[in-house]
Amino acid sequence: MPPLTSIEKLDLLSLTKVGMEKFVHAQGWKPYRAEQILRWMYQRGVTQVEHMTDLSIQDRTHLGDIATINWPTITDVVQSRDGTAKFLIRLHDGASIETVLIPERDRRTLCISTQVGCSLDCRFCLTAELGLKRNLTAGEIIGQFLCVQEHIEKTNKTPPRLTNVVMMGMGEPLANIGPVRDAIQNMIHGRCGLGLSPRRITVSTAGIHHKFKDIVELGVNLAVSLNASTNEQRNAIMPAANQLCSLPDLLAACRSLALPHRRRLTFEYVLLRGVNDSPQDAVRLAGSIRGIPCMVNVIPFNEIPGSPYTRPDEATILEFQDILIRRNIDTYLRKSKGPDVLGACGQLGASARQML
Ligand code: SF4
């Protein structure tokens, strides 16, 4: 069962369709009531049980007595010069997380968090400094989408819809796989969820390889954060993740993963000056992923205060990308989004830390 709130009420946002059907059955209600409740939350954005007006007053009262909708609260929005917006979000127990909205041409991607803090200790990441405070519930994961969409609707005359989700915010999604899976199921359900295409959802992992299959089975995209061309390098940059699964084992797991037809993995590679950004690194990387259906996102490091790492210069970045491309690896250079508000990759956690 999903967790109860502090006042011991069930959070309806944490129930999948199957969970809601069981809940509805347990109340002695007709099965169709499950879809009614889900549609109120995900398609009409209702935040309170009493607004579900196609339930009888008696049923609404009963539902309100035993359950609630733990709608997250946006406490601050920091706007970047490039249009990116970072949302500081408070959860029902007072914990805070960060969520980033990245508008690009015809897309509006929401980068959402899956944990308060993170259990891993990637050395280039600000979130790691928080440590793991707790996992998010399924409701708190999908709730980030709902409250940001609500914010967009309140602040725009012709509000656009969020189109894509990347689970690359605070936390390691695969260390919280149950709630992540439930939230994704509600995101992609057409009739009573958000109706997002699974292809528009990407889950990023630091390499918890035994959970890869759980993500692939949902039909969503899997991104694996490699960041190193040798095991020694990865040990230095991502010690906890590499202890869970060494670089050779991680690559072997990626190679043997059964992907659906015409789908491919994304490898993420954060470029750190003088650490993993040499031409030899690029050649080794190309060799080690050869034959895996994949693309590579090269992410020049977004500098954070107090970090020992710096961003490579432009020529080094372009040469790294060029070496991969010349070896027939589809390679994209990730533009930094929102670095001036610490909203870019690896920069989340500064505001949340002040709230803990
Ligand atoms: S990069 Fe991701 S997995 Fe690593 S510490 Fe940061 S949030 Fe956690």
CATH assignment, 73-355: 3.20.20.70
Q: What is the model's pLDDT at position 6?
A: 46
Q: Which of 121, 172, 301, 334 to mutate to test the pocket of ligand 1 (most atoms within 8 A of CB)?
A: 172
Q: Which CATH number fits domain 10-68: 2.60.40.10, 1.10.150.530, 3.40.640.10, 3.40.50.720?
A: 1.10.150.530
pLDDT tops 90 at residue 90: yes
Q: Which residue bears the tokens 């930094």? A: 336
Reported as a pLDDT band with limits 50, 70 and 90, residue 166 is: very high
Reported as a pLDDT band with limits 50, 70 and 90, residue 306 is: confident
What distance in Å separates the CA atoms of residue 336 and residue 342, rounded to the nearest whole number?
A: 10
> Domain extents for the chain?
10-68, 73-355
73-355 shares the fold of 10-68: no
| pLDDT single digits (tens) 28-52 | 999 999 999 999 999 999 999 999 9
DSSP 77-121: EEE-TTS-EEEEEE-TTS-EEEEEEEEETTEEEEE--SEEE-SS-
* Interstrand relation of 67-68 and 115-117 (parallel, antiparallel or unpaired): unpaired
Q: Which residue has the higher pLDDT, 156 or 28?
A: 28
Q: Which residue has the higher pLDDT, 216 or 157?
A: 216
Q: What is the DSSP letter of 134?
A: E
Ligand 1 — pocket residues by CB below 6 A? 118, 120, 122, 125, 127-128, 170-172, 206, 346
Q: Which residues are catalytic?
A: 98, 345
- Closest alpha carbon to 96 in 169, 164, 174, 8: 169
Query: Quick one: average pLDDT of 279-297?
Result: 97
pLDDT tops 80 at residue 269: yes
